[in-house]
C-alpha cells in the first residue's frame, strides 16, 4: 500500500516537472506578444513620423545652427513647410511611441533617426523667427522643440528616452536667450508647461522594463533563452549602462526644473517690480510654481542664492557637492554646479 502511494507521489512530481518544462519551452519558442503602450487615437506620433519622412535638404545641427544666417534658414524652412505643418498637427495631439507597429528593430530606429532630423528642423524654424526679431513667437517655437523631445520619447525604449534631452537642448538654449524679453504671462505659462512635462515624465524604471521586453521580443527565442539562462550575469553586465542612463536622465530633469524656476522668478519679479527679491523659491508657490523643484543630486530643493539684486538658482550637480553656484570651467558635468543665470 505504501509502495503504491509512493509511486503515485513520484508520478505527480513527474507530471508537474513535465508541465513546468512544457511551459518554459512554450515561453521560449512561441513568438512574443509584445504590444507596447496603449496608443491614443489619433496618435500624434503617427503625424510626426509622416512629417519626418517629408523633410528635405541639409538640416543643420545645433552647432551649425549657431553660425547660420537668415537667408540660409529661410531657404531650408521654405522647402519644408509641409513637414512643419504636419509636425504642428502632431504636437497638438497626445503622442505615444508606436513600438508594436515596427516590423523590425532596424525599421524602428530608422524612423527614429528621421524623427531626430525633424527635431533639428523645428529648432531651425525657431532660430529663423528669433533672428527676424519676433521674440514671443520664437519662444513659442523653442517651446515646441522641448515638447517635441517628449513627444518622440513617451512610450519608447531606452535610446529614445536618452535622446529626449539632446533633442530638447536646442530649444532650451534658444529659449534661455529670450527669457529677458518675455512678459510675465508668457513666462508663467512656460514655467507651468515645464512643470507639467517634468511631472508627467514616465519613471525610468518603466522604460528599462519596456526596453528589455522589446529587445527580447525582437530577438526571438535565442535572445529569450540566453536571458533566462544567464539573467543574473546579464543584469550585472548591464548595471554600468543603467547607472549612466540614470545620471543622464537626472541631468535632463534638472534643466527642465531650472528653466521652470527661472521663468517663474521672472514672472514674479515683473508682477512685483517694487518688491524685494524673494528670499527663497517658496515665495513662488503656488502662484508661479506648483511646488519648489527637487534636486535629485542633493535629495533636496534646488539651491537659491541671493546677492543684492542678483539671484542664482542651481543644482549641486552629479557630484552632490554644493559649490555655491560655481559651474565647472571645463564643461564637465561631473564637476561643479548646474545653473542658469536668473533674468
**Mean pLDDT value across residues 161-175:** 94
pLDDT of residue 219: 73
Q: Does residue 280 belong to any structural domain of this protein?
A: no
CA distance 138 to 130: 5
Domain assignment of residue 83, yes or no: yes
Q: What percent of the chain has pLDDT over 70?
A: 86
Of 54-63, 269-278, 327-336, least confident by mean pLDDT is 327-336
Average pLDDT score over residue span 195-217: 92
311: left (phi > 0), else alpha (psi -120 to 50), else beta? beta
For 140-152, the pLDDT digits (tens) are 999 999 999 999 9
Q: How many residues does the chain have?
A: 343
| DSSP letter string, 57-73 | S-PPPHHHHTT--HHHH
Of 198, 200, 208, which Cα lies nearest the Cα of 254?
198
Give the helix/strand (H/E) hosting 299. none
Residue 80: what are its φ and ψ, rounded to 5°? -125, 25
Give residue 343's pLDDT band: very low, low, confident or very high (50, 70, 90).
very low
Residue 341 placed within a domain: no
Q: Indicate whether 251 belongs to any domain.
A: yes
**Residues 6 or more apart whose Cβ sits within 8 Å of residue 253:** 198, 201, 296
pLDDT of residue 19: 59
Per the listing, cell 533636496 goes with: 300
3-state secondary structure of 153: coil
CA dihedral 150→155→156→162, nearest 10 degrees, is 40
Residue 8: how many other CB atoms lie within 10 Å: 10
Say how many Å lie between the first and final Cα of the chain, rounded.
90
Rounded to whole angstroms, the maximal C-alpha distance in the chain is 98
Q: Which long-range contacts (CB under 8 A, 24 or more apart) does 305-311 make?
A: 306/277, 306/279, 309/277, 310/342, 311/265, 311/277, 311/342
Domain assignment present for residue 234? The answer is yes
pLDDT digits (tens, 9 = 90+) for 66-105: 899 999 999 999 999 999 999 999 999 999 998 876 556 6
Q: What is the pLDDT of residue 18?
A: 66
Tens digit of each residue's pLDDT (9 = 90 or more) over 284-303: 999 999 999 999 999 999 99
How far, CA to CA in Å, does 223 sit from each of 54, 209, 229, 230?
35, 15, 10, 11
In a domain, 158, yes or no: yes
Residue 70 belongs to a domain:
yes
CA 113 – CA 330 distance, rounded (Å): 30
The percentage of residues in the chain with a pLDDT greater than 90, rounded to a whole number, is 65
pLDDT, residue 29, reads 52
266 vs 214: which has the higher pLDDT: 266
- Is residue 277 situated within a structural domain? no
R_g (Cα) of the chain, nearest Å: 25
Q: Is the pLDDT of residue 259 over 90?
A: yes
Name the residue range of residue 95's domain: 44-271
Q: Look up residue 70 and give its three cell numbers.
A: 537668415
Positive/negative CA dihedral, 190, 154, 201, 94: positive
* CA-closest candidate to residue 84, choices 117, 110, 113: 117
Strand partners, 327: 336
Q: In the chain, how many domains are there?
A: 1
Is the pLDDT confidence value at 121 over 80? yes
pLDDT of 308: 80
Amino acid at each position: 500500500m505504501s509502495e503504491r502511494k509512493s509511486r503515485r507521489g513520484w508520478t505527480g512530481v513527474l507530471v508537474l516537472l513535465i508541465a513546468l518544462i512544457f511551459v518554459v519551452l512554450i515561453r521560449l519558442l512561441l513568438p512574443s506578444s509584445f504590444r507596447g503602450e496603449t496608443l491614443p487615437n489619433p496618435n500624434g506620433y503617427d503625424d510626426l513620423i509622416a512629417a519626418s519622412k517629408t523633410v528635405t535638404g541639409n538640416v543643420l545641427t545645433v552647432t551649425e545652427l549657431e553660425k547660420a544666417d537668415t537667408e540660409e534658414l529661410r531657404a531650408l524652412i521654405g522647402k519644408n513647410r509641409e513637414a512643419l505643418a504636419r509636425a504642428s498637427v502632431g504636437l497638438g495631439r497626445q503622442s505615444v511611441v508606436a513600438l508594436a507597429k515596427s516590423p523590425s528593430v532596424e525599421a524602428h530606429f530608422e524612423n527614429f533617426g528621421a524623427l531626430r532630423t525633424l527635431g533639428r528642423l523645428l529648432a531651425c524654424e525657431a532660430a529663423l523667427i528669433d533672428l527676424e526679431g519676433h521674440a514671443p513667437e520664437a519662444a513659442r517655437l523653442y517651446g515646441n522643440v522641448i515638447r517635441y523631445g517628449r513627444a518622440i520619447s513617451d512610450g519608447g525604449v531606452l535610446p529614445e528616452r536618452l535622446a529626449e534631452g539632446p533633442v530638447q537642448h536646442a530649444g532650451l538654449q534658444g529659449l534661455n536667450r529670450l527669457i529677458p524679453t518675455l512678459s510675465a504671462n508668457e513666462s508663467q505659462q512656460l514655467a507651468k508647461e515645464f512643470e507639467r512635462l517634468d511631472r508627467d515624465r514616465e519613471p525610468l524604471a518603466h522604460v528599462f522594463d519596456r526596453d528589455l521586453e522589446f529587445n527580447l521580443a525582437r530577438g526571438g527565442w535565442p535572445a529569450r533563452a540566453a536571458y533566462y539562462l544567464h539573467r543574473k550575469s546579464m543584469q550585472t553586465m548591464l548595471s554600468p549602462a543603467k547607472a549612466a542612463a540614470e545620471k543622464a536622465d537626472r541631468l535632463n530633469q534638472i534643466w527642465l526644473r531650472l528653466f521652470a524656476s527661472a521663468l517663474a522668478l521672472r514672472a514674479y519679479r515683473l508682477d512685483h517690480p517694487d518688491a524685494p527679491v524673494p528670499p527663497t523659491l517658496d515665495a513662488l508657490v503656488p502662484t508661479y510654481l506648483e511646488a519648489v523643484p527637487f534636486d535629485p543630486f542633493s535629495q533636496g530643493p534646488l539651491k537659491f542664492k541671493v546677492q543684492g539684486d542678483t539671484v542664482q538658482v542651481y543644482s549641486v550637480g552629479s557630484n552632490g557637492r554644493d559649490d555655491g553656484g560655481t559651474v565647472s570651467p571645463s564643461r564637465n558635468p561631473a564637476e561643479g554646479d548646474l545653473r542658469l543665470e536668473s533674468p
